[in-house]
Amino acid sequence: MSAEPPRRHSARTHGDNSPAIGFVGKLFLSVLVGDVVEFADKAKRWGGWNWPPFLLVVPLGSYALISAPDGPLRQFVWVYLAIAGSVGLALARLVHPGSENRARHWRVLMSAASVMFAVAGTVGMDHLADHGEIDVTGRSRLTTGAVTNGSELRLVVDGPTDRARLRLTLTIRDAARSSQFCAPETRYSAQLHNQASTRVEDVGSGRTIDFPLGGLEGLIDVRITLLTDEGCQMNVFVADAVLHD
């Protein structure tokens, strides 16, 4: 008589509590082995052409994020969306590769789209680094204190001047709000220093003006003349200063 071969995952127990102990042991072994087998089966599918798009997308997205220049957040929205989309598609392709032939073209499209989004995000970030807007409000210095009708102010934007134009917005407020209300009617004129061709007239508070810098290097010097009613004292602030092409 030949011996009966042992069964897989078989267990023998003895004693009064042996059924319970044996059940728990089998349950634990089943869960543990089942999870390992399931993970191994899934890992086998994480191969072939599933990895290259992911390994390409991650470095491209990381480079784009690291090389992001300073500037208004709104100009980076589409770049961030492209990077997020590329990583999301590549990760979905990696974790859920699928095996049905009818879904093969969708998997190919997901891989191609993830790479294209990553390249678009990287190229877009490089473009913004060379031609995007640069917020220079923090680099702007304006004459402080209360000013009156005919006062001349000097606005200086520290260099470097990396773009072709300066977009400027000034805010004008009453210095003594409890005793006067002159801001709505207050205007100013402005021009780049020694460049009369850039002069703009009759500019109100909160209105945006734009100066062509014409290859100017170093600091930007803007001369401002305030026009308000006699006896009015005003405060002038730089609300927004942006270099752009």
* pTM value surpassing 0.85: no
Number of alpha helices (DSSP H) and beta strands (DSSP E) in the chain: 4, 9
* Contact indicator for 208, 240 with CB cutoff of 8 Å: yes
Span between the terminal Cα atoms of the chain, in Å: 93
Confidence band for 14, pLDDT divided at 50, 70 and 90: low
> 103-112, 123-132, 234-243: lowest mean pLDDT where?
103-112
For residue range 179-224, list pLDDT tens digits in order.
Answer: 889 999 999 999 999 899 999 999 999 999 999 998 788 899 999 9
Higher pLDDT, 192 or 15: 192
- Give pLDDT, residue 112: 86
Rounded CA-CA distance 9/37 in Å is 14
Tokens found for residue 84 = 């997020």
For residue range 26-39, list pLDDT tens digits in order.
Answer: 434 444 444 444 54
Residue 108 has φ and ψ, to the nearest 5°, of -65, -40
- Give pLDDT, residue 16: 53
Rounded CA-CA distance 54/216 in Å is 44
- Give pLDDT, residue 12: 52
Residue 220, judged by CB atoms within 10 A of its CB (0-12, 13-18, 19+), counts as buried
Helix (H, G, I), strand (E, B) or coil at 43: helix
- Give pLDDT, residue 5: 55
- Give pLDDT, residue 52: 81
Residue 142 has φ and ψ, to the nearest 5°, of -125, 150
* Contact indicator for 229, 184 with CB cutoff of 8 Å: no
> 7-21, 110-124, 140-154, 164-178: lowest mean pLDDT where?
7-21
Rounded CA-CA distance 224/150 in Å is 10
Q: Residue for token digits 């979905």? A: 92
What average pLDDT score do residues 141-147 get? 83
